[in-house]
Amino acid sequence: MKILIALIAIATINVKTVLCQCMCLFTYDKNYETVTFYNQSSISHPHYFWNFGDGTSSFLQSPTHRYPETGNYLVTLFAKDTINNCSSYYETWLNLTKYSTETCQTDITDSIFLYDNNWFLKIIDNSTNCNMYNCNEDVGPALNFPPNNWIYLGDEWHHARFISRVQYYTYDTTNWSYEVIREAYKTSPFLYSSDKNYGDCSANFEFSVISQDTAGQKILFRAMNNTAADYEWTYGLTSPMGSNSDTTSYYYHYNSNDLFIIGLKTIGSTGCKDTLYQQILVRDSILTFANIDSHYDLFSYQLIPNPIIDQAIFHFSPVNQKTYLTIYNTTGQLIKTLNPVKDGQILISRRGLSNGLYFFKLWTNNGVITTGKFIVE
C-alpha cells in the first residue's frame, strides 16, 4: 500500500508539471510581402508578443502582416502564461520577395564577424538593375552609411537586434525631396538570444503602437522582466529617454517614419545585469491585421454574417469614446470610414465593395481597439 501511494504522488507531480508548461509554435502562409501567421501555441492563459523582424510588432493571437519590402526577417513569437508565469518562444527566418514590376530588384545579406578581436557588421548588396538610382545603406546602428563599408560594433552595444537596409531612390533637386523606389531589409541579430525574455535577468522588451495620427506614432516600450530592481531606457546608445526614471515601460512619440534604436538596461533582483538594444521601424500601422478568428485580449466583437453578401452588422463591446470603423483593401488603401448606427453596432454595406478580401480597424482617438478581416461575396 505504501508503494502504491508513493507512485500516485509521483504521477500527480508529473501531471502538474505538464499542465504548467508553455509551448510556443506557429506556421504561416506568405503571398509575396503579405504573411498570415497561425498561432499553434499551447498555453492556458496566454499573453502573446510578435516581433516580425522588420522593427514592428503585434499582440494579436494570429496576425496578418504586410512587410515593407523584400528581405530576410527573423520572426519571433514570445508567449507567457499570465497565471502560471511560464514563458516560451518560437522563431524562424522568413525570406520574402515583394511583388514589383520595377526592373530594379533588391536583395541584401549581412555578415557579422570578428576582426582583430573587434566585432564588425557589413551588408552585402546583391541587388540587380538598380544602377540608375541613388543608393543608401543603413547598416545596423549606422544610418545613412556609405555602401560596402564595415560598421564597428563596440562592446558598448552588448546585445542587439538590429535592422539592416538598402534603399534605392530618386532625388528631386527642385523640391528638395526624394522618392524611395525599392528597398531590401535584413534582421541582424548581434550576440542576441530570444530565450532571455521574461526572466529576472533579461533586458528584452516589447513594443507596440498605441496611437497614430498626422503628428506621428506614439509607441509603448515595456520590459518583459517585471521583477528587476532597476530599469534604464535609452534613445540610441546613451541618451536617456525622458526623465530616465526607473520604470518597466516608457512611451515615446515619433514624428517621422524611419528606423530608430531603443535600449534597455536592467539590474535584476539578484543583482544580475543585462542590456539590449532593438531597432524599431516607424511606419503606417494599418499594415498589421487580425485573422478572422483572432482577437485582442479583453475585447469581444462579432461580424454577422461573414462573408458579406448584402450587408452585415459589426457588434462590439461598447466603449465610452467616439468610435470609427475603417475598411482597407489588400493593398492597404483606405476604402471607407463608418460610424456606429447605435451604441456597439456598425452597419457594413457591400455598396462600393467588389468581391474579395478586406481588412478593418475599429479605433478611437486614443488608438486601435481591434482589427480583423472580412470577405465580400
Domains of the chain by start residue, with CATH: 23-284 (2.60.40.10), 298-376 (2.60.40.3080)
Q: 172-181, 267-276, 316-325 — which one is most confidently predicted on average?
A: 267-276
Q: Give me the mean pLDDT over the 112-129 stretch.
A: 94
End-to-end Cα spacing for the chain: 67
Q: Answer whether residue 8 shows pLDDT above 50.
A: no
Q: What are phi and psi of 50, to 5 degrees?
A: -100, 130
Closest CA to 190 of 165, 160, 163, 164: 160
Q: How far is it, in rounded angstroms, from Cα 121 to Cα 111?
A: 6
Q: How far is it, in rounded angstroms, from Cα 96 to Cα 93?
A: 10
Cell readout for 272 is: 544580475
Sheet holding 205-213, edge to edge: 205-213, 216-223, 249-254
Strands 70-81, 177-190: pairing kind: parallel
Residue 370: CB atoms within 10 Å: 20
pTM strictly above 0.85: no
Percentage above 90 pLDDT, the chain: 45
Amino acid occupying residue 36:
T
Is residue 169 classed exposed, middle or buried when 0-12, 13-18 and 19+ CB atoms within 10 A define those classes? Answer: middle
pLDDT digits over 19-59, tens only? 458 999 999 999 999 999 999 999 988 899 999 999 999 98
Cell readout for 209 is: 503602437
Amino acid occupying residue 72:
N
Closest CA to 293 of 81, 38, 51: 38
> What is the residue whose three cell numbers read 456606429?
340
Contact by Cβ (8 Å): 305, 233: no
pLDDT band (50, 70, 90) for residue 278 = very high
Closest CA to 285 of 227, 213, 338: 213
Q: Give me the mean pLDDT over the 302-306 stretch.
A: 84
Choice between 298 and 350, residue whose per-residue pLDDT is larger: 350
Contact by Cβ (8 Å): 190, 76: no
- Name 35's bridge partners: 30, 65
Q: What angle do CA 59, 254, 263 make, to 5 degrees?
A: 70
pLDDT at residue 246, rounded to an integer? 52
- Name 234's bridge partners: 240, 263
Q: Give me the mean pLDDT over the 275-294 stretch.
A: 78
pLDDT band (50, 70, 90) for residue 9 = very low
Q: What is the mean pLDDT of the chain?
A: 84
